[in-house]
């Protein structure tokens, strides 16, 4: 079962040592979890952050670090970058609609039949055994002193 955690500068350094099997980004203003950055690692642990909090104290460093350490997030957040950063042949970019996109391991796509926003979050929630959107926003609201 995947554990949902909020990204911190410390755990970003630990996470970058594993290959992500899912990278998700929801544009600020998108339908659904606006600004959500989600990374699922091979062990199915899920890490989240919210780009909408970019201007808050301490949060800019977290978001900037995520885009630096996981450069594939740039392919999702800025579609023009897709040609400049090579997506591994083991992964595929999927536009999930309404400002939401993901780069997902092809084996996961086929196994869980991911094709749109609903099937994507159905898969994520099944792995985490919880509603990840609610958990992500609850964790973000609980963090103090950023």
pLDDT score at 114: 81
The terminus-to-terminus CA distance of the chain in angstroms comes to 29
pLDDT score at 34: 79
Chain center to CA of 58: 19
With cut-offs at 50, 70 and 90, classify the pLDDT of residue 23: very high
Kindly calculate the radius of gyration of the chain based on its CA atoms and give it in whole angstroms. 14
Q: What is the pLDDT of residues 36-89, one digit of tens each?
A: 899 999 888 889 888 877 777 778 899 899 989 998 888 887 765 555 678 889
Burial class of residue 32 (count of CB atoms within 10 Å of its CB; 0-12, 13-18, 19+): middle
8 within 8 A of 61, measured Cβ to Cβ: no
pLDDT score at 116: 76
Chain center to CA of 10: 17
CA distances from 2 to 5, 30, 139 (A): 10, 25, 16
Asked whether the predicted pLDDT for residue 107 surpasses 60, the reply is yes
Query: Secondary structure of the chain: what % helix, strand, coil (to 5)?
Result: 40, 25, 35
More confident residue, 105 or 32: 105
Cα(20)–Cα(15) distance, integer angstroms: 8
Cα(105)–Cα(89) distance, integer angstroms: 9
């Amino acid at each position: 079962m995947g554990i949902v955690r909020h990204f911190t500068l410390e755990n970003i350094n630990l996470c970058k040592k594993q290959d992500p099997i899912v990278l998700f980004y929801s544009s600020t203003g998108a339908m659904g979890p606006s600004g959500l950055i989600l990374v699922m690692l091979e062990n199915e642990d899920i890490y989240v952050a919210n780009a909408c909090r970019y201007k808050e104290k301490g949060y800019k460093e977290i978001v900037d670090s995520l885009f630096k350490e996981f450069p594939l997030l740039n392919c999702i957040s800025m579609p023009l970058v897709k040609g400049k950063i090579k997506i591994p042949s083991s992964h595929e970019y999927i536009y999930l609609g309404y400002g939401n996109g993901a780069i997902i391991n092809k084996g996961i796509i086929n196994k869980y039949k991911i094709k749109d926003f609903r099937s994507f979050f159905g898969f994520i929630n099944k792995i985490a055994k919880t509603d990840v959107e609610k958990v992500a926003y609850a964790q973000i609201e609980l963090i103090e002193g950023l």
